């Protein structure tokens, strides 16, 4: 919708200030607890400048880069869903008085978030959760409001982690839509720039206040080269053609038993997944018994409780829970919401304590017949 422009690191700092001035709470990547997580940014100094992440199945470390890149990492354990679909939220309160019950809905969240550093796979993840919470017959008003108020500043990936497979999922590495602004970091011979393009009126307006300079053809090609590099680096892949039929036809494949022997049913994959949306509710009362509340919190299909039905769990084995998660993510999601539930961000691979790799599991079922396979690293080609 407009020509790309260039800002420098001062411009990036100004962008954060400008957003704050406009009343946004700016959320973005920062180093905490030896990981790059998303949190409130006070200034450009909170960004993980000079840091990168090292990822493999069951492995995550941050380490120093030999340059000063601000966005020289891939993705960490957090995703933006923690702001749009919070891990814990009160739904309503109820008061009991003289036999009467008064139910008071929680007022919907009105914080205006600006997300800085949204990766292409994450833009897709947000769109996927939109399908769940606002595009169906019922609307989650709290989500809708948070979503509508949010400003999204995407940052193109110029490197990928060995756990990434967005190219297979058609979700990256280049941000194509769904952002207000998109940045590509260009770092060359100590010259530090960001190629910026607006994706919405709001983004265009912001750009106007930043005083950027026009980008040259060479800047654009440098940015493109960076994104191309991220795609080239990608070593994991997943075949998505006919994946729904493949999984539905193999619900009793012996591979489910094999993966269940390794799976700890810990729910890490569902917590770090940017699209997993399941939740449960907790009803609580105070000591007088007259005040009650209902809280919603993230839940996982890996817990026993999840499928509890009068007297027992429907999915009592780890096998059935892993199968539920993976077939939902890659197959039934397509029937439910019109797309895969996987964006290829690789978080579930990285944060699995035993290194179970979803791409490897798909491949194992695909190669039906060969029932033996070696775990670890198998997802790499």
Partner 1 sequence: MNFSEPDPMVPQPYKVRQIWQETHDTFSLDLEPKGPSLHSEFAPGQFNMLYAFGVGEVPISISACSKNGDGWIHTIRDVGTVTHALHQLREGDTIGLRGPFGSAWPIDESKGSDVVIMAGGIGLAPLRPALYALMESRKNFGDIALLYGARKPEDLLYTDEFESWRGKYGVQVRVTVDNADRTWSGNVGVVTTMIPRVNFDPLQTVAMICGPEIMMRYAVLELRQNGVSEENIYVTMERNMKCAVGFCGHCQFGPAFICKDGPVFRYDRVKPLFSLREV
Residues that bind partner 1 (CB under 8 A): 91-92, 94, 96, 99-103, 105, 132-134, 136-141, 144, 248, 251-252, 277-281, 283-285, 289, 292, 294, 296, 299, 301, 306-310, 314-317, 319-320, 323-324, 327-328, 331-332, 335-336
CB of 118 to partner 1, least distance (A): 23
**For partner 1, the closer CB: 220 or 260:** 260
CB of 150 to partner 1, least distance (A): 16
> Is 331 within 8 Å of 247 (Cβ atoms)?
yes
CB of 80 to partner 1, least distance (A): 18
**For partner 1, the closer CB: 57 or 331:** 331
CB of 203 to partner 1, least distance (A): 24
Residues 6+ apart with CB under 8 A from 158: 71, 72, 184, 185, 226, 227, 229, 230
CB of 268 to partner 1, least distance (A): 17
CB of 308 to partner 1, least distance (A): 5
**For partner 1, the closer CB: 175 or 247:** 247
CB of 307 to partner 1, least distance (A): 5
What is each CA distance from 82 to 37, 78, 213, in whole angstroms?
A: 11, 8, 35
CB of 318 to partner 1, least distance (A): 10
**For partner 1, the closer CB: 186 or 326:** 326
Written in H, E and C, the secondary structure of the chain is CCCCEEEEHHHHHHHHHHHHHCCCEEEEEEEECCEEEEEECCCHHHCCCCEEEEEECCEEEEEECCCCCCCCCCCCCCCCHHHHCCCEEEEEEEEEECCEEEEEECCCCCCCEEEEEECHHHHHHHHHHHHHHCCCCCCCHHHHHHHHHCEEEEECCCCCCCCCCHHHHCCCCCCCCCCCEEEEEEEECCEEEEEEEECCHHHHHHHHCCCCEECCHHHHHHHHHHHHHHHHHCCECCCCCCHHHHHHHCCCCCHHHHHHHHCCCCCHHHHHCCCCCCEEEEEEECCCCCEEEEEEEECCCCCCHHHEECCEECCCCHHHHHHHHHHHHHHHHHHHHCCCCCCCCCHHHHCCCCCCCHHHHHHHHHCCCCCCCCCCCCCEC
CB of 206 to partner 1, least distance (A): 26
**For partner 1, the closer CB: 45 or 317:** 317
**For partner 1, the closer CB: 81 or 193:** 81
**For partner 1, the closer CB: 9 or 265:** 265
């Amino acid at each position: 919708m407009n020509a790309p422009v260039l800002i420098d690191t001062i411009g990036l700092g100004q962008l954060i200030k400008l957003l704050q001035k406009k009343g946004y709470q700016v959320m973005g990547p920062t180093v905490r607890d030896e990981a790059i997580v998303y949190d409130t940014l006070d200034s450009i100094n909170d960004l993980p400048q000079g840091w990168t992440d090292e990822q493999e199945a069951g492995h995550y470390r941050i380490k120093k880069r030999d340059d000063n890149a601000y966005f020289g990492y891939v993705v960490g354990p957090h995703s933006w869903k923690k702001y749009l679909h919070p891990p814990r939220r009160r739904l309503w309160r109820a008061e009991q008085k003289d036999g009467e019950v008064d139910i008071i809905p929680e007022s919907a969240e009105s914080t205006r978030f600006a997300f800085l550093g949204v990766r292409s796979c994450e833009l897709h993840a947000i769109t996927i959760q939109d399908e769940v919470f606002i595009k169906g017959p019922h609307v989650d008003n709290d989500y809708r409001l948070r979503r509508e108020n949010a400003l999204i500043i995407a940052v193109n990936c110029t490197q990928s982690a060995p756990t990434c497979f967005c190219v297979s999922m058609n979700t990256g590495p280049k941000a194509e839509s769904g952002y207000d602004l998109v940045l590509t970091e260009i770092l060359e011979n100590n010259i530090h720039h960001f190629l910026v393009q607006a994706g919405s009126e709001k983004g265009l307006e912001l750009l106007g206040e930043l005083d950027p300079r026009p980008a040259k053809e060479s800047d654009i090609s440098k940015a493109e080269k960076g994104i191309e590099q991220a795609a080239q680096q990608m070593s994991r892949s997943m075949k998505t053609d006919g994946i729904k039929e493949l999984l539905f036809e193999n619900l009793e494949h012996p591979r489910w038993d094999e993966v269940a022997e390794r799976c700890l049913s810990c729910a890490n994959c569902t917590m770090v997944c940017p699209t997993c949306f399941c939740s449960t509710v907790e009803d609580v009362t105070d000591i007088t018994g007259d005040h009650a509340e209902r809280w919603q919190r993230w839940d996982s299909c890996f817990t026993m409780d999840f499928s509890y039905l009068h007297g027992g769990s429907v999915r009592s084995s780890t096998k059935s829970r892993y199968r539920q998660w993976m077939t939902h993510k890659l197959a039934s999601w397509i029937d439910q919401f019109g797309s895969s539930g996987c964006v290829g961000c690789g978080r579930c691979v990285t944060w699995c304590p035993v290194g179970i790799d979803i791409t490897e599991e798909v491949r194992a079922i695909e190669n039906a017949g060969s029932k033996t396979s070696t775990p670890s690293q198998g997802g790499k080609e």
